[in-house]
Each structure stands twice: as structure tokens, then as C-alpha cells.
Chain A
Amino acid sequence: EVQLLQSGGGLEQPGGSLRLSCAASGFTLSEYALTWVRQAPGKGLEWVSSISVSGDITYYADSVRGRFTISRDNSKNTLSLQMRSLRAEDTAVYHCARARRRETAVVVDAFDIWGQGTMVTVSS
């Protein structure tokens, strides 16, 4: 089965750091652009960051730029999101998602495969 398996997350204090990971099952993660999308409790979907197939192109939402870093290790078939200087407003379920098109030039796209989500709570 084609799926994305997430790990990481949890409870962290404001100003702290957390790292989220996403691993592929049933497909080769290195062939697709990848994205993180978050959803605050009871709210809608918010795009966070995207990364190209090779990892040389990254995009960030203004709300996280300079604090979050997206990266990938194609040799290990994994995607990561390093989150620093966490704020209460970063509290959300974070999903990794796969670009629908398997094209090297694609960085942003519709998302056809989603991870199950991992909760990040920022609170003192």
C-alpha cells in the first residue's frame, strides 16, 4: 500500500524545538516533491513548506520562514521538518503530503498521498 508514515511531534514549550519525520511506504519518496500542511484544532488547512525532488528548492509560508526547515534524505526515503522557536500558534496537526505529479521540475502541486498527521502542541 502506498502511504506516508509520520513520527515525531508532541508537547513542547514556547521557544522550544521539535522535529517531524515522514517515511514512504510502497513508493520511492525520492521521485516526488513533498510538502507539509498543518491544521490548527477546529480550523482549516494551512500550507507550511514544500521541497523539490532534489532538495535544492524549498518554499515556506511567511508564518514559519526563518524558524522551520524542511529537508529530505532521499537515500533513507525520508522527509523532515525541523521546527525551532515554537509559538503557541504553531499548535496543530501536521501532515506530510506527496505531490501528485512524479516530475523533477514540479515543486508545488496537488497532493494525492497524505500522512495520517501528527499533533504538535506548544504550551507552557
Chain B
Amino acid sequence: DIVMTQSPDSLTMSLGERATINCKSSQNVLFNTNRLNYLAWYQQKPGQPPKLLIYWASTRETGVPDRFSGSGSGTDFTLTISSLQAEDVAVYYCQQYYSPPLTFGGGTKVEIK
């Protein structure tokens, strides 16, 4: 199984600051045939289902603000919120869909200072 490890567990930042969340996979999730990383990022607010933010490691889902960006390849990935807004308070998860069993990171809780 591919283990997804996120860091940090929580993040407290001021409004307007840059937030960075890391995700490391225990195996490569880059598919050599199409050169795509099978890695997604989700945002989950209390009492709501997760919302897809990023897929293919760096492609923003339709309607997601451009302050959210994804980067990385192979086994190391990053979700960046360029200027933290109040509505970004949530838990963020990475997920690999390279092969079943699909696995999620443990989550990173983002709060405002």
C-alpha cells in the first residue's frame, strides 16, 4: 500500500500569509506513460464533505481560487495557499489515486492566528 504522510499536522497563520502543506508518498505516484502524478488535494470544512481542489498534482479544479496551487512530482508534493483568507480555515488532505488501495494523508488543519 502507498502510505501518504502529510506535514505539518496543523498550521496557524495570519490573514494574507502564505501557507504551505507538504505530502510525501511512500512510493512514486508518477505514471511514466503519461507523465502525470496521480495526486489530488482536498479541502474539508466542518460538517461538509471534502471538496476537490487540485488533481494531477497541479491542475486546479474549476472554480477553485488561484491562490491555491499544487506542485511536486514523484513522491514529494506541496499545496500552497498564497494569501490565506478567513474562508480557507479547514482541514486539507492529499490523496493518491495511482493504485488501489487509494490512500489519504492524515490531514493538515489550517487556522487563523
Asked whether any CB of chain B lies closer than 8 Å to the CB of A9, the reply is: no
Closest Cβ of chain B: how far from A109's Cβ, in Å?
5
Asked, given contacts A45-B93, A100-B55, A112-B61, whether A50 binds B100 with beta carbons under 8 Å apart, the answer is yes
* Complex interface residues of chain B between 77 and 113 (CB less than 8 A to chain A): 93, 95, 97, 99-107
Contact present for A110 and B104 (CB under 8 Å): no
Q: What is the size category of the interface that chain A forms with chain B?
A: 20 to 34
Closest Cβ of chain B: how far from A56's Cβ, in Å?
15
Q: Could you give 20 example pairs across A and B, Cβ below 8 Å?
A: A35-B102, A37-B50, A45-B42, A45-B93, A47-B101, A47-B103, A50-B100, A59-B101, A95-B50, A97-B49, A107-B100, A108-B99, A108-B100, A110-B40, A112-B52, A112-B61, A114-B50, A114-B51, A115-B49, A117-B49
Chain B residues with a Cβ under 8 A of chain A: 40, 42, 44, 49-52, 55, 61, 93, 95, 97, 99-107
> Which 8 A-B residue pairs are closest in the complex by CB-CB distance?
A114-B49, A110-B40, A47-B102, A59-B100, A110-B55, A45-B104, A44-B107, A112-B52
Chain A residues with a Cβ under 8 A of chain B: 35, 37, 44-47, 50, 59, 61-62, 95, 97, 100, 107-112, 114-117
